[in-house]
Structure 1
């Protein structure tokens, strides 16, 4: 059944779609919204937001442990079922609220897998919809792994909805997901093993700070196996046996669950992009600088599904969504801003990065100031042994070009440095600032 043409068909309801849908609706466009899962997107339902709730509990446990003998007594512990119930208070209402909002704004909503019929028609279930413009904002999905028994893996959204944690947990991969989940599970009392095929995990971050995080991970009972590779997973009663190699030798790990934490890829499977004349690579849908498909001008793509220079992060998806909305409404005049892309892995302590990396800075002759902050007041008062920052400065101009931080105040500092880099503030300007004291921000003058 073919309906009246829509001004916009939006495939996806997360951060990469939100601005496009809301701004075009405000402009009076007739809009169809499609999602194969619950409305609301990954970040709100099965990503950043619920993960941070769990990470907050892990942070509290770590703080309690650090302060034992420093005036704090007693053992705090995580009651997993209660923590998950608390997490659900942030996620349960999102799908209905999202869909109700769309409907109240006069949009048509569809649940199901979307696929192209031709350049301007989309099939969803038994419906065929025609769109003057089509937004693809389907995000990313776990990368398939060449593992015998891969069907036994659970994924990030499964972990974030577990009713109980096993006594032993294996995480395959050495990126954000693996380390964040490891630090949560370990603080909840689970024995955790991370199996990473390379020599260096978390390769997006400064290697020296990663090494410090590895020491902290080992201290809290997380076993990180580098140069290790999973070959097979088999079920043995109520447990799983993970077979593979470690440093070239055969090895086995026994556990209650095996979690996929080995990266994500653009979620384009099943969209039948060829029928829509939408070109793509393994990095995602090929778009121009305005996020418009290079092969089908009706189509725009935003977020993790697009092949842009933007990192796969929620704020960047939002940035791209805003750019697409303006380009649809005003013509192609707006490009997403990739100048500053702060990134944090929410371990305990957290690890963050923004701007130029240290290796590149040294090649280009910029100054790299390294600060071991573990003895600074901000970190000593909470007994944090692992706190370090590296700040990259162009001495000729005084501009700050990059910052890399490990510690309990990483979120605050990385965002401050992101603002500094975005607006080209200099060290002289920062030194005239009066920050509330004592805070991590008030350490900024010493860091630069």
Structure 2
């Protein structure tokens, strides 16, 4: 490494698409640093797949008990929301220090803060400039902006996973897998009213229609109100409740609740990176990369949900990270 550079590689984002790249290059003898403004671990481990699976596992116990009633199992089961959240935190609280310690043992320098490019080979973080021969961007995705009145009254999926109390009347804006999974969790946990508002003709538009039809029927049997062709227009406070107005083919409707959850989709989390200063091009679905995960700046790579490369799924992010690491080393 030239004395002009602080590192051979700086990885921006300590989730699935970034940490593997940092490990592989450090193992090859590179001087590597990794930066994140959030606790290490990424969306899947801390704010998505894994904590969600823990909540699903608990609420599935309710479903099993109900399905086996009269078949030899007699039990009255209920969800202790606070206990369930404590169970979730037993994993998520331990993950960031575990990830950070593992990276440091692998020889990767752990840095915390917001990074933005000031030149093709330089970033600024916490007022300090850092230069590197290469960069790898794996900043993931964030909830998309809806641009509707009352948007500030929404909570995100991350917020939902940290709710200290179970909401009693909850509305999910959007009908993708996040909304459908969380709607089932809320209803099985004892919420009295759960509503899903989907703008399209059916939920889960990218999934197999026959399987979706089975899920829609099961959702209705559970007691979740699924409204399709329902475009949310605004959210308003009305006393101690929230009123969600939505447009349907039959006119404008209103549903009241105590919690409204943003579940309409996510967009690349790249707004604060100042990519133009680095010569990195991007579009509406993410940073432009080629088949080798190289951006329009040949010294900068990207992978995962922030790139325009493939489905926003954790295994895809991990696979793309391996491709990026191998091509960086090559």
The higher-RCO structure (CA 8 Å, 6+ apart) is 2
- Kept after mapping to 1: 8 A contact 2:22/2:108: no
SS for the counterpart of 1:270 is helix
Deviation of the 1:61 alpha carbon: 1.1
- Kept after mapping to 2: 8 A contact 1:3/1:129: no
Please state if 1:315 is matched with 2:315.
Answer: yes
Q: What is the 5 A alignment of 1:278-427?
A: 278-293=280-295, 295-308=296-309, 310-329=310-329, 331=330
- Kept after mapping to 2: 8 A contact 1:3/1:128: no
- Kept after mapping to 1: 8 A contact 2:170/2:195: yes
Task: Tell me the TM-score normalised to structure 2 length.
Answer: 0.96
- Kept after mapping to 2: 8 A contact 1:18/1:318: no
Residue 112 of structure 1: aligned partner: 113
Query: Over aligned residues, Cα RMSD in angstroms?
Result: 1.4
Q: What is the 5 A alignment of 1:10-409?
A: 10-190=11-191, 191-293=193-295, 295-308=296-309, 310-329=310-329, 331=330
- Kept after mapping to 1: 8 A contact 2:5/2:132: no
Deviation of the 1:155 alpha carbon: 0.3
Per-residue Cα deviation, 1:5-37 (whole angstroms, up to 9, x for no partner): 211000001111122111111112111211011
Residue 342 of structure 1: aligned partner: none
Deviation of the 1:51 alpha carbon: 0.3
For 1:193 and 1:121, the matched residues in 2 are separated by 47
Q: Which runs of 4+ in 1 moved over 4 A?
A: none
For 1:212 and 1:104, the matched residues in 2 are separated by 47
SS for the counterpart of 1:123 is strand
Distance 1:5 1:173, change over 3 A: same
| Structure 1 gaps, min length 5 | 332-448
Q: How many pairs does the alignment contain?
A: 327
- The structure with more radius of gyration: 1
- Kept after mapping to 2: 8 A contact 1:234/1:241: yes
- Kept after mapping to 1: 8 A contact 2:5/2:133: no
For 1:3 and 1:247, the matched residues in 2 are separated by 63
